[in-house]
């Protein structure tokens, strides 16, 4: 008989322990913001497969588009025989991206691939090799993206040495005592002590840090980085793998700052559940690479491209950017109410951009000291109650909320009630 216990035993025998799973249950089916395991138990999904399902599980428009493509063909390799869905998706993204100049798009399969290729493009366009990222950043698990990631455990430990010429500066987080001014000073100091500005190919930054704790990059930081990049011929890369496609209340998170990056990496929510990533960039930067320098056998799957076109249709037709903002305002108000309750564990540092929301578990009410063990306990309790939710942060101190933007009001309210129960003091 197939059940969670049986499958867990099979998993432990067949799959290496290096790939961790948050819940000890196995999915059977899902729809919008709800998931049922193989034993028929229902869960409310506030994780969305780590921010992939902004339009929910199995959105009918996405499923119909994928099925229609499957009936025609599943694979040709774009480098062998091209197809219209790839071109149509590139055209849509080129028009949507906040680049301020003619754009080009290229597609891959994973977020890490997008980051790797953005680095390749930036290096070729500038003729330089050094890269600058930020503490707390997460850019992937491949070697270059792992080097760019600003967190040692569990992503880097034991995998060294990392690729050279990758440097990190502090990411500003006010409750950790790191200001925008301190970050900019650290960057200028880096130029003086470790790598000259004219040797830097790219600066890469998440408009909202993902694994690092959902900390929002202040607009003044992004504006300063744009000026520094312009002054020194550096490519500015916005890593929108988790913050893109209406999650923050705009199509791309970088739009909140008013700046225009040179390259944007995308993945996760773009494919609506199908593996798809990409780099969108200014044409003169993208076209620096010679033919054959970019690509991949499965890069830009025709099925995933068809699904992504449907995702963009749903975002537009259902006005999910506005929906994201409205949902975010409601959820933040509820979290602030939770923070004021003495019968719940102390929480604070509630932060949000649209519906990219997180909060920290605190060691004491009103303190800035965080409690990672309490966060883990809350996650475990939420899972037991039937709420799928994930942690994040440098110490695992935060709980992040990534519900589908298509979630119904009643299901959202049910999920927030379960979160309140999970926060109850034991």
Contact by Cβ (8 Å): 345, 369: no
Residue-wise pLDDT for 267-318, tens only, equals 999 999 999 999 999 999 999 999 999 999 999 999 999 999 999 999 999 9
Q: How much is the average pLDDT of 166-188?
A: 97
3-state secondary structure of 382: helix
Tokens of 127: 């003729």
Sketch out the chain's domains with CATH numbers: 4-55+319-422 (3.90.1150.10), 63-317 (3.40.640.10)
Closest Cα partner for 98 from 269, 296, 258?
Answer: 258
- CA 350 to CA 335: how far, in whole Å? 7
Percent of the residues in the chain that have a pLDDT greater than 70, as a whole number: 100
- CA 281 to CA 288: how far, in whole Å? 11
| DSSP conformation letters of 136-177 | T----SSHHHHHH-S--TTTTTTSPPPPSSEEEEPPPBGGGT
pLDDT band at residue 371 using 50, 70 and 90 as cut-offs:
very high
Tokens of 128: 């330089």
- What pLDDT score was predicted for residue 199? 98
pLDDT at 374 over 90: yes
Mean pLDDT of the residues in the chain: 97
Q: How much is the average pLDDT of 203-222?
A: 97
- CA 312 to CA 320: how far, in whole Å? 10
Residue-wise pLDDT for 379-401, tens only, equals 999 999 999 999 999 999 999 99
260 exposed, middle or buried (CB, 10 Å; 0-12, 13-18, 19+)? Answer: middle
- What pLDDT score was predicted for residue 160? 85
- What pLDDT score was predicted for residue 401? 98
Alpha helix (H) residue ranges in 340-387: 372-385
Q: Within a 13 Å sphere around the CA of 394, how many CA atoms are in the beta-carbon half?
A: 13
Residue-wise pLDDT for 78-95, tens only, equals 999 999 999 999 999 999
Strand partners, 107: 278
155-169, 181-195, 328-342, range with the lowest pLDDT: 155-169
Q: How much is the average pLDDT of 249-265?
A: 98
Torsion angle, alpha carbons of 249, 253, 258, 261, to 10 = -150
Sheet of 356-361: strands edge to edge?
Answer: 347-353, 356-361, 398-401, 390-392
pLDDT band at residue 152 using 50, 70 and 90 as cut-offs:
confident
Residue 5 is classified by DSSP as H
CA 181 to chain centre: 26
pLDDT band at residue 1 using 50, 70 and 90 as cut-offs:
low
Other Cβ atoms within 10 Å of 8 Cβ, number: 14
Residue-wise pLDDT for 120-145, tens only, equals 999 999 999 999 999 999 999 999 99
- What pLDDT score was predicted for residue 154? 87
50 exposed, middle or buried (CB, 10 Å; 0-12, 13-18, 19+)? Answer: middle
Closest Cα partner for 277 from 247, 254, 292, 299?
Answer: 299
Q: Are strands 235-239 and 263-266 parallel, antiparallel or unpaired?
A: parallel
- What pLDDT score was predicted for residue 425? 85
- CA 378 to CA 257: how far, in whole Å? 33
If you compute the radius of gyration of the chain from its CA atoms, what whole number of angstroms results? 21
pLDDT band at residue 50 using 50, 70 and 90 as cut-offs:
very high
């Amino acid at each position: 008989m197939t059940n969670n216990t049986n499958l867990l035993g099979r998993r432990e025998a067949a799959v290496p322990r290096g790939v961790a799973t948050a819940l000890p249950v196995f999915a059977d089916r899902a729809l919008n913001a709800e998931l049922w395991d193989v034993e028929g138990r229902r869960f409310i999904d506030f994780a969305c497969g780590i921010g992939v399902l902004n339009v929910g599980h199995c959105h009918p428009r996405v499923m119909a588009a994928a099925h229609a493509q499957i009936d025609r063909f599943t694979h040709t390799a774009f480098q062998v025989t091209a197809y219209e869905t790839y071109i149509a998706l590139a055209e849509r993204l080129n028009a949507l991206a906040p680049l301020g100049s003619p754009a080009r798009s290229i597609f891959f399969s994973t977020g890490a691939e997008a980051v790797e290729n953005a680095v390749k493009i930036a290096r070729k366009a500038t003729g330089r090799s050094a890269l600058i990222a930020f503490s707390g950043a997460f850019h992937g698990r491949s070697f270059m993206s792992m080097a760019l990631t600003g967190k040692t455990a569990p992503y880097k430990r034991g995998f060294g040495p990392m690729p050279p010429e990758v440097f990190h500066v502090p990411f500003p987080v006010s409750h950790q005592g790191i200001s925008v001014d301190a970050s900019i000073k650290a960057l200028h100091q880096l130029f003086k002590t470790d790598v000259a500005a004219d040797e830097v190919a790219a600066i890469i930054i998440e408009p909202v840090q993902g694994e690092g704790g959902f900390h929002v990059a202040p607009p003044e930081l992004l504006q300063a980085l744009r000026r520094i990049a312009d002054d020194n011929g550096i490519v500015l890369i916005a890593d929108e793998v988790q913050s893109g496609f209406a999650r923050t209340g705009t199509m791309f998170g970088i739009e909140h700052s008013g700046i225009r990056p040179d390259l944007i990496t995308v993945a996760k929510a773009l494919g609506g559940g199908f593996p798809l990533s990409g780099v969108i960039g200014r044409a003169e930067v993208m076209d620096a690479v010679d033919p054959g320098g970019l690509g991949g056998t499965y890069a830009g799957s025709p099925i995933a491209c068809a699904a992504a076109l449907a995702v963009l249709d749903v975002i537009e037709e259902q006005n999910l950017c506005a929906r994201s903002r409205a949902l975010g305002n409601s959820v933040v108000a509820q979290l602030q109410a939770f923070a004021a309750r003495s019968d719940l564990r102390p929480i604070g540092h509630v932060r949000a951009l649209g519906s990219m929301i997180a909060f920290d578990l605190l060691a004491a009410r009103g303190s800035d000291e965080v409690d990672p063990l309490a966060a883990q306990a809350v996650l475990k309790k939420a899972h037991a109650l039937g709420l799928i939710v994930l942690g994040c942060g440098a110490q695992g101190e935060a709980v992040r909320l990534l519900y589908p933007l298509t979630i119904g009001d009643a299901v959202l309210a049910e999920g927030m009630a379960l979160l309140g129960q999970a926060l109850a003091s034991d």
